[in-house]
Amino acid sequence: MANTDPIHVGVLFSRAGITSRVEYSQWLGTDFAIHEINAAGGIDGRELVATHLDPECLPQNYRSMAEKLVQDERIRVIFGCYMSSTRKAVMPVVEKWQRLLMYPTLYEGFEYSPNIIYTGAAPNQNNAQLADYMTRHFGRRVYLVGSDYIYPYESNRIMSDFILERPGGAKVAERYVRLDANERDFSSIVRDIKDKQPDFIFSTVVGRGTRLLYEAYADAGLDPARMPIASLTTCEAEVSEMAPHAATGHITAAPYFQTVDSALNRQCLERFRTLYGDVIEPNMCWEAAYFQVHLFAQAMQRSGSDDLERLLPHLLGSELDAPQGRVRIDPASHHTRLYPRIGRVGEDGRFVILAESAVGVDADPYLVHHATNEWSIRNVALGDVDA
């Protein structure tokens, strides 16, 4: 008789805490994919069932909840994590128990785990293109501001390298704020920005602080057309939290925006909105959370098992038509081929896509080919629409 047992998976995205807005969108992206898979008959007739826990954005909770999913619930595959500090908390758990984490968030690179699949952008898929775009259109003097944890330190180091290796490149300042920074913290930073007059600001602020930074910038009367904030983390989820117009004119590099111009993307957004309404704004982290569940289901269908040894060979090298374009998991790096894009926030809070890669770009998480000129020529055919 055919096996009709449900397939249980774990989900670790937060509903409360600093980055809960974007993590809620990741949970709904995951839920949406699970809904689609089950509506189409499940995986060979087996229903996909998620156990969703809320770690409240605290790394120690991600670790203990991953232990709980693996040991108490006997779950073999976990979808989850936004902040790199939370991924690093789950990594030893999946490595110890031979389980799999699928991680749908851009991050700082310089990592490989045999037990993680990375479906968000590595620095050669967003940071390199942002450095290229900003230095060509605005200048080479950058002011770095980030939240106080590992991703911003590392992402700022990489951005600094990309800027400083260009003639005239300069780091004007590098400042960090607590994850729970308040209005006063950001007004002091914006005063400093006003004094120092960089060509652009690179923000690695995450979660709730993002709104405060952009609103403090707008309140100070600074002009995004002349000195914009450029970011890899400010997506539609954060923009939707801001006062109207606080985000307008600022720039983000990401493999996906809602405005990606394809029938597949438009249909996917329509199906999502029919089911979930507008409780969240779809964004790059939502999209990665969505397509990685479909990649898992496809591999699971081929392997017939979620046991890592049987599943992984079918996941590695697998491809899927995602809303951003056709993605592929690289067997060597466990990272994903993605489509770098540069977007600027328009009056309506949607990103206008200013430049995009004509081809998928494989991740190079250790930046083996560390030369920005080489990036743009070798990997990326960025369009050149003026900012």
Q: How far apart are CA 79 and CA 100, in angstroms?
A: 9
Shortest separation between residue 105's beta carbon and ligand ACM, angstroms = 5
Ordered alpha helix ranges (H), the chain: 20-39, 59-71, 84-96, 127-137, 150-164, 183-196, 209-219, 236-239, 263-276, 284-303, 308-315, 372-374
Sequence-separated (6 or more) residues with CB below 8 Å from residue 144: 156, 159, 160, 171, 173, 174, 175, 201, 202, 204
Cβ distance to ligand ACM smaller for residue 126 or 135: 126
Token pair, residue 343, equals 């977007």
Q: Which is nearer to ligand ACM, 137 or 341 (CB)?
A: 341
| Angle at CA of residue 139, ends 360 and 344, nearest 5° | 50
- Closest distance between ligand ACM and the C-beta of residue 256, in Å? 15
Closer Cβ to ligand ACM, 143 or 151, answer by number:
151
Q: How far is the CB of 179 from ligand ACM (least distance, A)?
A: 11
Which letter, b or e, does each residue of 278-295 get, where b requires 16 or more Cβ atoms within 10 Å of its Cβ?
Answer: eebbbbbbbbbbbbbbbb
Amino acid at 365: P
Smallest separation, CB 299 to ligand ACM (Å): 24
Nearer to ligand ACM among residue 198 and residue 207 (C-beta): 207
The smaller minimum CB distance to ligand ACM, of residues 43 and 121, is found at: 121
What is the closest distance, in whole angstroms, from the C-beta atom of residue 80 to ligand ACM in the complex?
12
Instruction: Tell me which residues touch ligand ACM (CB under 6 A).
Output: 83-84, 105-107, 151, 206, 233
The closest of 295, 266, 263 to 282, measured between CA atoms, is 266
Q: Find the shortest distance in angstroms from Cβ 104 to ligand ACM.
A: 10
What is the closest distance, in whole angstroms, from the C-beta atom of residue 126 to ligand ACM in the complex? 11
Q: Which is nearer to ligand ACM, 23 or 36 (CB)?
A: 23
Task: At 154, list the tokens.
Answer: 């590392």
Residue 262 CB neighbour total at 10 angstroms: 12
Q: How far is the CB of 131 from ligand ACM (least distance, A)?
A: 17
Taking the CB of residue 212, how many other CB atoms lie within 10 A of it? 23
Which amino acid type is present at position 116? I
Minimum separation from the CB atom of position 107 to ligand ACM (A):
4
Query: Residue 374 — φ and ψ, nearest 5°?
Result: -60, -40
Rg, the chain, Cα only: 20
Nearest residue to the partner ligand ACM, using Cβ: 151
Minimum CB distance to ligand ACM smaller for 300 or for 363: 363
Q: Closer to ligand ACM at the Cβ: 233 or 265?
A: 233
Please choose, from the candidates 145, 222, 232, 234, the residue with its C-alpha nearest in 3D space to the C-alpha of residue 181: 145
Give the nearer residue to ligand ACM in terms of CB position, either 65 or 106: 106
